[in-house]
């Protein structure tokens, strides 16, 4: 494929200040008229031709300044329209058609259900009309939509509604005007029949705004939480960042077929229905939380993304990393709202834990594999492949490190300065860091973020080795940190020399009782704190603390203050001490997880040799016992602390990955704990009841999480009483969280007539609700009992539809990326299934196919036998004729 490079960026030679779009909307054939003002930029080297992007379009006519032009005035290739020799000022009108019903890629204008939707980021607008489809060309849009009144009673586009009228032939017309100049990727239209929930509210400065949530007719009762989340998002951005909604109305529309979570189109967010619709009976606590987070995320994009956008797609993390950071903070603030200081700390720690689990499971593997890239990539073949965990989640970590280094107040000053400098512009990550640097220097003129910028240009997860030297004679304790980060991905081929990162590391020291020690830096601190922010900027650095009488236990990388792997030679006893006493809730969780991870790794190694798993270290069992009995801690926190680490996170720690050994070891450890603490777990189960009306609030959700974790330990341990409890809970649950928890543990851990009855019953009760049926498919596809053959069976079910991304994800992706035992079955059928599905999806929806292809990124790190078979299937995919550019990039990089 062709590689696009960041260094090749050139500004576009023309401005397009205004665009008037007219649509005659029909599913089979949509007619589009695009009228634009084009002005040659005199500040740039002169370019005579206007080159526009287009894809799958049929050209009808081109007019320049009122004259129809002939074929000698332009050249047309499959992806470009070059209008030759355009005047300095021109009004250009292009008329074309496209075919929404044939568009299975769900990018551009497409059909979902009976409605029409658009998805333009990153490069979908070019499937609607020819245009300079790049984020640095910003225009004011006026949009006219015409369509059949019956079939498409509602016609939406960005901005404010200016006109609505009926036409002849059962058609009608609606006009929209968006006063803010925007790049084409933020354009949107929706046509169809929808139910609507409305809410009038006021911005901080007293402007009236109308909030609307549109969804399938009859689903209006499921949009209350979405509306409440939207209102909370408005308030939060006003309070925390001083940012107001800038339009008179803000719309969210739910689509059943959608490639990702949601899209921040100006004033008209289009959402995957999974992130809009919820009621207690159909959505789980985590669904509720995800809805609030995604609604917040898209809303926050209005400033970080829309008002200030990206110069080019290499700068994607400018808006995505920052907006993920903002949505994480939003959720944390919502969770901590109204709590006492200690309870708030634990609530924020829960959110941090969940985010770090995601980062480690999705981003760390990416950063060590063939697709590794810096948060600001240097090159890509297909931009659709770069909406990655690195750009998003690691991008958010990089913003968070700046927040840690600057502190809340200076960070806010930096944000204000960023908007002051760049509102209405398309800018770069450097511009953002420069604004932050300005704020940092205002606080302390000797500091700067020059070295920090390396986080934008170097990939990989740094490894930080820590060691501690204690000197009883001087009562000094020296902490030494050193960093390394080997070249990864493309860095390997380029022979790039990597330089040290600027890494903020928050630390504490505990005495032998687990009490925090004052951290007096030698000769510097008069009033020492018990926590310090160390800044590691060199390869190796040491810090000496004085007045320490016994060798302490260090508590390192508190709150996960940097996206690194921190290695310290803890004894299991030290980890147990931290897990019982560390005053930092995040670090306390981390210590317990490290204990369990070591245990699983040890058990997996022996399982490989003998087929048996040894008994775990009593230190670890005791640590779990104390956490289980600690009734002072918040239930939601306790649930995280008692959970087993994810298989993926454990696998990352193996030099040769053995997925089956890890899955077996993890489940046997869980079983041992379930058996060992049977009585306590049953007690915990019964203590955590949440009577009364369902609420997704952190309090009751935490109790449910703990109760259901206890249930799952017990069922895994094959406790008869627990299996009975699970069936009862499944049958009598009054909310989806409890029903799903019971259903999952039964379907994954038990077999027989009652289990299959439960599966049948679940389907019969919920077949009318596609989002619940996605759950039904997902539970079966992620079951340790599932095989490629049973997947083929599931896909033959009448409710399966490969064209619906949510459905494809619930079956195929669950099996290929959340089912170790199924995917890695010894007969190789799992691998062949993966390849077959990548190829099947590739002809329909390349973006989704390429995502699935990434499930094999790590093939070369597996044990022999496993890796050879994975490689063969990768090669089979790579050799397939007419592979999309998306999938080709992924498999060729994996095989390189």
Q: Which is nearer to ligand B3K, 26 or 320 (CB)?
A: 320
530-569 exposure pattern, b = at least 16 Cβ within 10 A, e = fewer: ebbebbbeeeebebbbbebeeebbbbbbbbbbbbbbbebe
Minimum distance, C-beta of residue 741 to ligand B3K, in the bound complex (Å): 29
Phi, psi of 771, rounded to the nearest 5 degrees: -70, -30
DSSP designation for 39 = E
The entry of ligand B3K, Zn ion, none that residue 260 binds, CB within 5 to 8 Å by partner kind? ligand B3K
Q: Which is nearer to Zn ion, 306 or 755 (CB)?
A: 306
Complete DSSP assignment for 192-234:
E--EEEEEEEE-TTS-EEEEEEEESTT-GGG-HHHHHHHHHHH
Q: Which single residue is written with the structure tokens 């369902």?
A: 694
> How many chain residues touch Zn ion (CB under 5 A)?
2
Burial class (CB in 10 A: 0-12, 13-18, 19+), 498: middle
Q: Which is nearer to ligand B3K, 393 or 658 (CB)?
A: 393
The CA–CA distances, whole Å, from 498 to 459, 465, 562, 567 equal 9, 17, 18, 20
Distance of alpha carbon 486 from alpha carbon 614, whole angstroms: 35
Q: Which is nearer to ligand B3K, 188 or 715 (CB)?
A: 188
The CA–CA distances, whole Å, from 534 to 29, 412, 440, 523 equal 61, 22, 17, 16
Complete DSSP assignment for 607-652:
HHHHS--PPPPHHHHHHHHHHHH-TTS-HHHHHHHHSPPPHHHHHT
The entry of Zn ion, ligand B3K, none that residue 869 binds, CB within 5 to 8 Å by partner kind? none
Q: Which residues are catalytic?
A: 298
Minimum distance, C-beta of residue 535 to ligand B3K, in the bound complex (Å): 31
Q: Which is nearer to Zn ion, 456 or 862 (CB)?
A: 456
The CA–CA distances, whole Å, from 637 to 267, 634, 704, 711 equal 37, 5, 12, 17
The residue of the chain with the least Cβ separation from ligand B3K equals 121
Minimum distance, C-beta of residue 262 to ligand B3K, in the bound complex (Å): 6
Binding positions for Zn ion, 94-123, rule CB under 5 A: none
Q: Which is nearer to Zn ion, 144 or 304 (CB)?
A: 304
Cβ(21)–Cβ(144) under 8 Å? yes
Cβ(572)–Cβ(615) under 8 Å? no
Cβ(353)–Cβ(638) under 8 Å? no
Q: Which is nearer to ligand B3K, 391 or 825 (CB)?
A: 391
Q: Is the peptide bond before 122 cis (omega within 30 degrees of 0)?
A: yes
Q: Which is nearer to ligand B3K, 380 or 815 (CB)?
A: 380
Minimum distance, C-beta of residue 399 to ligand B3K, in the bound complex (Å): 14
Distance of alpha carbon 556 from alpha carbon 509, whole angstroms: 8
DSSP designation for 496 = P
- Bridge partners, 553 (sequence order): 510
Which residues touch 468 (CB under 8 Å, ≥6 apart)? 477, 478, 479, 480, 551, 552, 554, 568
Distance of alpha carbon 382 from alpha carbon 3, whole angstroms: 8
Minimum distance, C-beta of residue 14 to ligand B3K, in the bound complex (Å): 25
Cβ(436)–Cβ(411) under 8 Å? yes
The entry of Zn ion, ligand B3K, none that residue 648 binds, CB within 5 to 8 Å by partner kind? none
The entry of Zn ion, ligand B3K, none that residue 889 binds, CB within 5 to 8 Å by partner kind? none
The entry of Zn ion, ligand B3K, none that residue 384 binds, CB within 5 to 8 Å by partner kind? ligand B3K
The entry of Zn ion, ligand B3K, none that residue 315 binds, CB within 5 to 8 Å by partner kind? none
Minimum distance, C-beta of residue 303 to ligand B3K, in the bound complex (Å): 13
Minimum distance, C-beta of residue 452 to Zn ion, in the bound complex (Å): 23
Binding positions for Zn ion, 312-331, rule CB under 5 A: 320, 323
Other C-beta atoms lying within 10 Å of the C-beta of residue 430: 15
358-363: Cβ within 8 A, 24+ apart: 358/389, 358/393, 359/389, 359/393, 359/394, 359/397, 359/560, 359/563, 360/646, 360/648, 360/649, 360/652, 361/646, 361/648, 361/649, 362/389, 362/393, 363/388, 363/389, 363/390, 363/393, 363/394, 363/563
Q: Which is nearer to ligand B3K, 260 or 468 (CB)?
A: 260
Q: Which single residue is written with the structure tokens 């292009």?
A: 94
Minimum distance, C-beta of residue 25 to ligand B3K, in the bound complex (Å): 23
**Would you call 729 helix, strand, or coil by DSSP?**
helix
Which parts of this chain interact with ligand B3K (CB under 6 A)?
121-122, 260, 262-264, 297-298, 301, 320, 384, 387, 847
The entry of Zn ion, ligand B3K, none that residue 387 binds, CB within 5 to 8 Å by partner kind? ligand B3K
- Bridge partners, 262 (sequence order): 271
Q: Which is nearer to ligand B3K, 301 or 326 (CB)?
A: 301
The entry of ligand B3K, Zn ion, none that residue 122 binds, CB within 5 to 8 Å by partner kind? ligand B3K
DSSP designation for 516 = B
Minimum distance, C-beta of residue 299 to Zn ion, in the bound complex (Å): 11
Minimum distance, C-beta of residue 4 to ligand B3K, in the bound complex (Å): 15
Distance of alpha carbon 369 from alpha carbon 359, whole angstroms: 15
Residues that bind Zn ion (CB under 5 A): 320, 323
């Amino acid at each position: 494929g062709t590689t696009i490079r960041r260094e090749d960026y050139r500004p576009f030679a023309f401005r397009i200040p205004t665009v008037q779009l007219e649509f005659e909307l029909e599913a089979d054939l949509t007619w589009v008229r695009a009228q634009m003002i084009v002005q040659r930029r005199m500040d740039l080297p002169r370019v005579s031709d206007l080159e526009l992007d287009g894809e799958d379009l049929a050209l009808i006519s081109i007019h320049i300044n009122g004259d129809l032009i002939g074929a000698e005035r332009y050249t047309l290739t499959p992806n470009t329209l070059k209008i030759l020799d355009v005047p300095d000022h021109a009004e250009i009108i292009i008329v074309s058609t496209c075919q929404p019903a044939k568009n299975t890629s769900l990018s551009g204008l497409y059909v979902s259900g009976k409605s029409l939707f658009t998805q333009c980021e990153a490069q979908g607008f070019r499937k609607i009309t020819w245009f300079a489809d790049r984020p640095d060309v910003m225009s004011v849009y006026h949009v006219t939509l015409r369509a059949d009144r019956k079939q498409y009673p509602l016609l939406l586009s960005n901005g404010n509604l200016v006109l609505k009228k009926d036409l002849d032939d059962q058609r009608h017309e609606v006009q929209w005007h968006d006063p803010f100049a925007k790049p084409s990727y933020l354009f949107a239209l929706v046509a169809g029949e929808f139910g609507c929930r409305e809410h009038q509210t006021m911005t901080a400065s007293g402007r009236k705004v109308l909030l609307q949530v549109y969804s399938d007719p009859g689903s209006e009762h499921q949009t209350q939480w979405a509306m409440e989340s939207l209102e909370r998002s408005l308030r939060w951005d006003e309070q925390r960042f001083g940012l107001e909604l800038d339009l008179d109305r803000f719309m969210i529309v739910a689509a059943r077929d959608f490639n990702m979570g949601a899209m921040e189109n100006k004033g008209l967010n289009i959402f995957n229905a999974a992130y809009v619709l919820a009621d207690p009976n159909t959505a789980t606590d985590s669904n509720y939380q995800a809805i609030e987070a995604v609604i917040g995320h898209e809303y926050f994009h209005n400033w970080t993304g829309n008002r200030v956008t990206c110069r080019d797609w290499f700068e994607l993390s400018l808006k995505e990393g920052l907006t993920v950071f903002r949505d994480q903070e939003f959720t944390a603030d919502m969770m901590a709202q109204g709590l006492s200081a200690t309870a708030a700390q634990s609530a924020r720690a829960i959110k941090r834990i969940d985010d770090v689990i995601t980062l480690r499971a999705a981003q760390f593997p990416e950063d060590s594999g063939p697709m590794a890239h810096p948060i600001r990539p240097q090159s890509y073949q297909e931009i659709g492949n770069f909406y990655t965990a690195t750009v998003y989640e690691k991008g958010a970590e990089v913003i968070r490190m700046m927040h840690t280094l600057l502190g809340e107040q200076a960070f806010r000053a930096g944000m204000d300065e960023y908007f002051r400098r760049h509102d209405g512009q398309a800018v770069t990550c450097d511009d953002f860091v420069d604004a932050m640097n300005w704020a940092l220097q205002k606080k302390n003129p000797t500091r700067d973020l020059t070295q920090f910028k390396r986080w934008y240009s170097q990939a990989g997860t740094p490894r930080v080795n820590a060691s501690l030297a204690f000197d009883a004679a001087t009562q000094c304790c020296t902490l030494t940190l050193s960093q390394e980060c080997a070249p990864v991905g493309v860095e390997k081929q380029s022979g790039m020399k990597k330089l040290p990162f600027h890494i903020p590391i928050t630390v504490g020291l505990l005495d032998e009782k687990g009490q925090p020690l004052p951290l007096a830096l030698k000769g510097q601190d008069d009033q020492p704190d018990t926590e310090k922010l160390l800044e590691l900027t060199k390869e190796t650095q040491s810090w000496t603390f004085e007045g320490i009488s016994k060798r302490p236990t260090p508590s390192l990388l508190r709150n996960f203050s940097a996206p690194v792997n921190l290695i310290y030679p803890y004894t299991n006893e030290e980890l147990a001490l931290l897990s019982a006493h560390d005053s930092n809730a995040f670090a306390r969780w981390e210590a317990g997880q490290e204990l369990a991870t070591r245990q699983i790794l040890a058990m997996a190694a022996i399982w490989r040799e003998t087929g048996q798993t040894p008994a775990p270290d009593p230190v670890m069992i005791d640590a779990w016992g104390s956490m289980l009995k600690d009734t002072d801690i918040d239930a939601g926190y306790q649930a995280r602390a008692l959970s087993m680490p994810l298989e993926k996170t454990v696998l990352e720690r193996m030099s040769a990955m053995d997925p089956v050994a890890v899955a077996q070891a993890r489940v046997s450890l869980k079983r041992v704990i379930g058996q060992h603490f049977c009585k306590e777990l049953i007690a915990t189960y019964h203590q955590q009841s949440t009577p009364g009306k369902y609420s997704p609030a952190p309090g009751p959700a935490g109790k449910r999480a703990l109760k259901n974790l206890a249930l799952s330990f017990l069922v895994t341990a094959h406790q008869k009483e627990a299996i009975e409890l699970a069936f009862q809970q499944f049958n009598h649950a009054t909310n989806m969280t409890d029903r799903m928890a019971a259903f999952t543990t039964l379907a994954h851990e038990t077999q027989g007539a009652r289990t299959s009855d439960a599966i049948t019953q679940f389907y019969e009760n919920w077949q009318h609700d596609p989002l619940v049926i996605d759950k039904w498919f997902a539970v079966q596809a992620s079951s340790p009992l599932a095989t490629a053959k049973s997947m083929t069976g599931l896909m033959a079910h009448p409710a399966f539809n490969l064209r619906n991304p949510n459905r494809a994800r619930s079956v195929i992706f669950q099996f290929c990326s959340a089912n170790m035992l199924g995917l890695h079955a010894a007969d190789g059928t799992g691998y062949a299934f993966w390849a077959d599905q990548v190829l099947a999806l590739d002809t329909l929806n390349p973006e989704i196919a390429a995502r699935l292809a990434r499930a094999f990124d790590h093939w070369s790190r597996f044990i022999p036998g496993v890796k050879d078979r994975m490689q063969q299937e990768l090669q089979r995919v790579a050799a397939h004729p007419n592979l999309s550019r998306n999938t080709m990039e992924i498999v060729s990089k994996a095989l390189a």
